[in-house]
Amino acid sequence: MAHYNCMLIDLDNTLLDFDAAEDAALRETLRHFELPEDAATMEKYKEINRALWRELEQGTIKKEKLLTLRFSKLLGWLKRSLSAGKVNDYYMNNLANQAQLLPGAIEFLTDVEDYVTIGIITNGSYRAQLNRAELSGIAAFADGIFISEKLGVTKPDKRFVNLALDKLGVNSRKRVLVVGDSLTADIKCGAAAGVDTCWCNFQGEENTTKIAPTHTVRGFEQLKAVILEQEELEHVGEKKKYQL
């Protein structure tokens, strides 16, 4: 029997390559509005966006405000008079069509889907994230897709995990694993909800926080070994899902 029978796994930079998606959508947006596409502008946007998402995780800003404010700040830095709302709408439309997978993501899901209930968890925009999950093929593996905009709570609020498990019909927390690339969102959220966690440290970053994940992995093969027992690793794809 697998070590875990339910996995709540993050979408961006855990299964999907958000950095590539962001770059493609942002460049197209800047080009469309005749704004500079240089490295300095790209990095300034990312700096603004990262700071605002940290505020969202801390509960000091609402998602609706964040989406427009990031472009309002960028336009102010560029000294350009455009509607931040229109720029954001164009960007989000482009982002929704970006579904670049991280190498090995589909193979990983294929190998573990017979053994675990899979819930996709993300703080992103509902329309964009749902479309990206479907375009990438990830949605086909999911028993549920849980997006903060629809749930009404944002990671790392423990209610995010609680609501997802309730909707999946998972009653026991003993064999639930929350998986993600963000210590401050995914891992903190899982720990707050009282379940095991796995930090996907695919970039080999240093953990400078006081957040301690149950497991840390550098790739999908290691993650698979966290979830499955040795015998199952040798026979992936041959069994059906365990009943919860």
Burial class (CB in 10 A: 0-12, 13-18, 19+), 16: buried
Instruction: Look up 10 and say whether it is catalytic.
Output: yes
For 33-83, how does the pLDDT look when each residue is reduced to its tens digit (9 = 90+)? 999 999 999 999 999 999 999 999 898 999 889 999 999 999 999 999 999
**Mean pLDDT of all residues in 203-232:** 96
For 84-129, how does the pLDDT look when each residue is reduced to its tens digit (9 = 90+)? 999 999 999 999 999 999 999 999 999 999 999 999 999 988 999 9
At 44 the pLDDT is 98
For 135-144, how does the pLDDT look when each residue is reduced to its tens digit (9 = 90+)? 999 999 999 9
Length of the chain: 244
At 234 the pLDDT is 82
Confidence of residue 145 (pLDDT cuts 50, 70, 90): very high
Q: For 152, left (φ over 0), alpha (ψ -120 to 50), or beta?
A: left
Structure tokens at 41: 């502008």
Residue 112 to residues 15, 52, 136, 151, 153, Cα–Cα distance (Å):
14, 34, 17, 26, 28
- Residue 207 dihedral angles phi and psi, to the nearest 5°: -85, 100
pLDDT for 244 beyond 70 = no
pLDDT for 240 beyond 50 = no
Enter the pTM of the model. Answer: 0.91
Mean pLDDT score of the chain: 94
Catalytic residue among 10, 111, 181, 186: 10
